[in-house]
Structure formats: structure tokens, C-alpha cells
Amino acid sequence: MRGKDRTSGQLFSYVNLESRVRPDHPLRLIRGLANQALAALSADFAKLYSAVGRPSIAPERLLRALLLQAFYSVRSERQLMERLEFDLLFRKRCSVATFRVKA
């Protein structure tokens, strides 16, 4: 079953990721282009997934993460997952839900 390509929102977050990434950052433009391409592929992705079963991670999220891996020369998927855990830029660009920052 195909997962949804959306974030769970800012429910437990005190960090606005959009304000943490500078407005002229190149990834803003690249993300727009990638989102257009992924939207065009959405119907093809839907054909590849079953209608029943446990939802997967959305293929759009996976492809966005792989783009970041290539752009930032992250050597392995394990390192990519570590970067997604700690790097706010990666979290925002992959539409990963944010976390609560404890003081």
C-alpha cells in the first residue's frame, strides 16, 4: 500500500523549518522542480502499489532523500538517515515531520 506524501504538521514542534532555511537557498528551486516531476509520476507510482496492506513510505519522500544524498555526497543510506535525524535542512526538504525541541 502506497504511503501518503505529506508531513504530519507542526503539532509537537517549536521550530519553524521554513524560517531556518534562507530564502535564496538553491534547494528551494530544486525542490519545486522535483515536486513537479514527482507529481507527474504520481499515477505511475500508484499503479505499482497494492490497495491493501500496511502503508509504505511515499516514493516521493524516498526520491527527495536520494536527491539530497547525491547533492551533499552522503556516502551511505545509513549516513543519510542520520542526517535526516539531525539536519533541519534535510528534514524540511524531505517533508519529514519535525520534532519537539526541549530547552
Give the start-to-end residue ranges of the domains of the chain.
17-93
Exposed (0-12), middle (13-18) or buried (19+): which is 64, by Cβ within 10 Å? buried
* Single-letter residue type at 22: R
Pairwise CA distance, residues 29 & 25, whole Å? 8
In order along its 103 residues, the chain shows pLDDT tens digits of 777 776 555 545 566 667 777 888 888 888 889 989 999 999 999 899 888 888 888 888 889 889 989 999 999 999 998 988 888 778 777 766 544 444 4
Q: In what helix (H) or strand (E) does residue 41 lie, and over which residues does it extend?
A: helix 26-48
